[in-house]
Amino acid sequence: MTSLADLRVIDAATLFAGPSAAMMLGDFGADVIKIEHPRRGDPSRGHGASVNGVGLWWKTLSRNKRTAAVDLSREEGQEILRRLAEGSDVLIENFRPGTLERWNLAPDELMKLNPRLIVARMTGFGQTGPMARQPGFGTLAEAMSGFAAMTGQPDGPPTLPPLALADGIAGLAMSYAIMVAVHARERTGRGQVIDMAIIEPILGLLGPQMTAYKALGVVPRRTGNRSSSNAPRNTYRTRDGRWLAISTSAQPIAERVITLVGRPDLVEQPWFATGHGRVQHVDELDEAVGSWIAERDAAEVIARFEEVQAAVAPIYDVTDLAEDPQYAALGTFVELPDEELGSLTMQNVMFRLSHTPGEIRWPGRSLGRDTDEVLAELDYTGERIAALREAGVIA
């Protein structure tokens, strides 16, 4: 049994945030139907590394989804979406505000056909406001949220992440919002519209920056790998050239680390009793920890930290991930058969449920792989499907 086997989701979004939400629902059994343009496909097909022209990002992002290629700008394509919406639970879309309305697919019109439908709208800036109709991507959210301003070295420029961070956070938030709406529907019998702006969820992970600004006038500054809330917290290089990260967010951990590195005298200082106090003496603490680590190989440092139950981790790249025994024990990566590439390894579902576990049933499929099957379920005849394909409405 899978948790969401009774849920049908239409993924009419593109690139990362909306499709990520749909992927997470599909991981736990939802029947996700991915709608793409018949000739262009989802732009994520062309992102990142590829094998024989087949995008690997697409393979992960669109796993567990059936793919149907439908031109929603055409009247016949709009009719297909209406018929899909009649029998679906969720529609995820990220067109610019006003686009669905222009295509006669406005949420209120779709919900007349299916009052239980949940329409999840994912855009850069939301459905209202002066920027609503502007193109929005995760990069802009990382810039406008304050993330880039507080990321990077103190004497360096604002720094953007090397991945679709804001999109991923918004995808997680949208999957949560959808399940909240599904739960509410069980009580009310009615669907609703979700309006999510990619610029907002990332704000929630940046801490109380606005609260501190309004209360104290605090403007976050770049601290590199240090923390503005506790110390020592940094990356440190070992004698054999490895990089390690440590965290001392909990007071007992901070005490153990500083005692381990031979400076118990610092623990006795009044300022050491709080994270805020330790931050005021971060240079002294970093010097104590950094010099101790620099005199030892990584294996010894990790062993000594583990002996005193202090938090330490090696800085990994993907080659380390592939060999790590903890990830192997968790089953974090799985190898899957693939229709186009033979087999693929990708990260597994994000968490484990004891009774209704998730599963990757198949990687992302080729463009239009399931169009005929999906239309047949809507009672389109073979002749009608062939005519739509000849007219370029579907692929």
- 113-126: pLDDT as tens digits: 999 999 999 999 99
**Angle formed by the axes of helices 17-27 and 165-188, nearest 10°:** 60
Start-end ranges of CATH 3.40.50.10540 in the chain?
A: 8-205+329-391
Start-end ranges of CATH 3.30.1540.10 in the chain?
A: 233-314
The answer to whether 197 and 124 have CB atoms below 8 angstroms apart is yes
Question: CA of 42: how far to CAs of 80, 200, 251, 255, 299, in Å?
Answer: 18, 24, 48, 52, 45
Longest dimension (CA), the chain: 84
| Neighbour tally for 382: CB within 10 Å | 10
Closest CA to 62 of 80, 76, 43, 81: 43
Closest CA to 4 of 168, 171, 183, 189: 183
Strand partners of residue 10: 33, 91
Question: CA of 91: how far to CAs of 119, 236, 275, in Å?
Answer: 5, 47, 45
Stretches where the chain sits below pLDDT 50 are: none
Q: Quick check: is 6 catalytic?
A: no
pLDDT of residue 33: 98
What superfamily does domain 233-314 belong to in CATH? formyl-coa transferase, domain 3 (3.30.1540.10)
> How big is the chain by its Cα radius of gyration, in Å?
25
Q: Residue 394 has what DSSP assignment?
A: B
pLDDT of residue 136: 87
| Tokens coding 232 | 């020592």
pLDDT of residue 331: 97
pLDDT tens per residue, range 285-305 = 999 999 999 999 999 999 999
How many residues comprise the chain?
A: 395
pLDDT of residue 1: 78
| Tokens coding 298 | 């990584």
Architecture of domain 8-205+329-391: 3-Layer(aba) Sandwich (3.40)
User: Per the residue annotation, which of 11, 27, 167, 370 is the catalytic one?
Assistant: 167
